[in-house]
Amino acid sequence: MAERRLGNRLKDIRTARGLTQTDLAALVGVSRKTINTVENSVFIPSTLLALALAKTLNARVEELFFIIGEEEH
Amino acid sequence: MAEIQKSDAEIVAEERCRWRAHSRTIIWTFLFWLAVALLMVAAFNSGIPQMIRAWAGIPDIVVVWIPLIFLLFLWRILLLYRKRFSPLPESLRPSVQKRLVDDYTRRQRFILVAFIPLTLLLTLNSPETHGSSSDASWFSLGAFVSYMLLAALMIVFGPGFLNTRFRAANQDEASRMLRVRSTAVGYIAAMIAMTADYGIGLFAPTLLQAAIPLSLAAAFIVPALYYVIADWRASLTKEDRDG
């Protein structure tokens, strides 16, 4: 079974909304480092944070995050 | 009644004041109960209680329960204290929360950076690692100051978990991830250090007394350094990392 990793389009969607990392962090209530490390796939965010990011960016969670290495069905 | 709108900076300043008040209360509570405990130890070892007990006819079982009653009293004080200092974190604006998280992580970095030289100083001062300490009085003075600073830092910053807002800031996912990874690194460092101690104990027992304080220091310094470096790297964007 292929290793499953979490990819994200957070940076693309954030910049499309005209937000900096600091702006987004202030809107979600986390540190800029959290946004930066999620964007760089340093760690997998919690469901709570993923939902908060999606709500703030007015996007669906699936648009923000996707699984790398899993076959699409 | 019209609600007064405060800026993020004003709210953060108020929160910092509350944290400082929180730290002060912790220190005074700690000192008070330390004094109570010492007085109790002194009282129970002075022979006076036996006289009083004999005079008043207090059974032994009551004397045994007195420390527990004090502990329950302490627990009640802590609960009241939490109620006093625990406004709802949900009431904070996300932008304020972000500033508080930044403030908290700054404190945490400062503590770790301060702990590393203090730990090194304490390790170097150990008679086993330093040899005879009789010819180095400044080392003893340094050790005393280090102990006091470590104790003060632990008291001021350590019990922050009692404060709901402090805990909320502590739950920031990046710093939580860093803490988890630092703990894992610390565990590995401690295991390596202990294995090395066993090896030294087997093959060079005379060095064991010097190795133990060094391994204890390594078990703390390695994860602390890891945290500080990883925290710095977490602030770098992908462009920064790629140069």
pLDDT at A73: 45
**What mean pLDDT do residues B144-170 have?**
62
Q: Which residue of B has its CA nearest to A25?
A: B98
pLDDT at B1: 43
Which has more pLDDT, B113 or B81?
A: B113
Looking up tokens 């994860």 gives B223
**What mean pLDDT do residues B112-132 have?**
71
Using the predicted structure, report yes or no on whether residue B62 has a pLDDT greater than 80: no
Q: What are phi and psi of B164, to 5 degrees?
A: -60, -40
Domain ranges of chain A: 5-68
B236 DSSP 8-state letter: S
3-state secondary structure of A67: strand
CB atoms within 10 A of CB B85: 18
**What mean pLDDT do residues B154-168 have?**
59
Q: Whole-number mean pLDDT of chain A?
A: 88
**Residues B123, B214: contact at Cβ < 8 Å?**
yes
Please report residues of B whose CB lies closer than 8 A to that of A55. none
pLDDT at A1: 58
Q: What are phi and psi of A7, to 5 degrees?
A: -105, 165
End-to-end Cα separation, chain A, in angstroms: 15
A30 DSSP 8-state letter: S
> How far is A29 from B100, CA to CA, in rounded Å?
9
Name residue A8's beta-bridge partners. A65
Closest to A28 (Cβ–Cβ): which among B92, B94, B175? Answer: B94
pLDDT at B60: 65
pLDDT at B127: 61
The region of weakest confidence among A23-37, B167-181, B195-209 is B167-181
Q: Which residue of A has its CA nearest to B102?
A: A31
Please report residues of B whose CB lies closer than 8 A to that of A40. 237-238, 241
Sign (positive or negative) of CA dihedral B179, B181, B183, B189? negative
The model's pTM: 0.68
pLDDT at B213: 85
User: Does the beta-carbon distance from A36 to B234 stay under 8 Å?
Assistant: yes
Looking up tokens 């402090």 gives B166
End-to-end Cα separation, chain B, in angstroms: 55
pLDDT interval class at B88 (50, 70, 90): very low
Q: Which residue of A has its CA nearest to B242?
A: A40
pLDDT at A47: 93
- Domain A5-68 superfamily per CATH: lambda repressor-like DNA-binding domains (1.10.260.40)
SS3 content of chain A, % helix, strand, coil (to 5): 50, 10, 40
Please check whether residue A32 touches B, CB under 8 A: yes
Degrees to nearest 5, angle at CA B162 with B103 and A22: 25
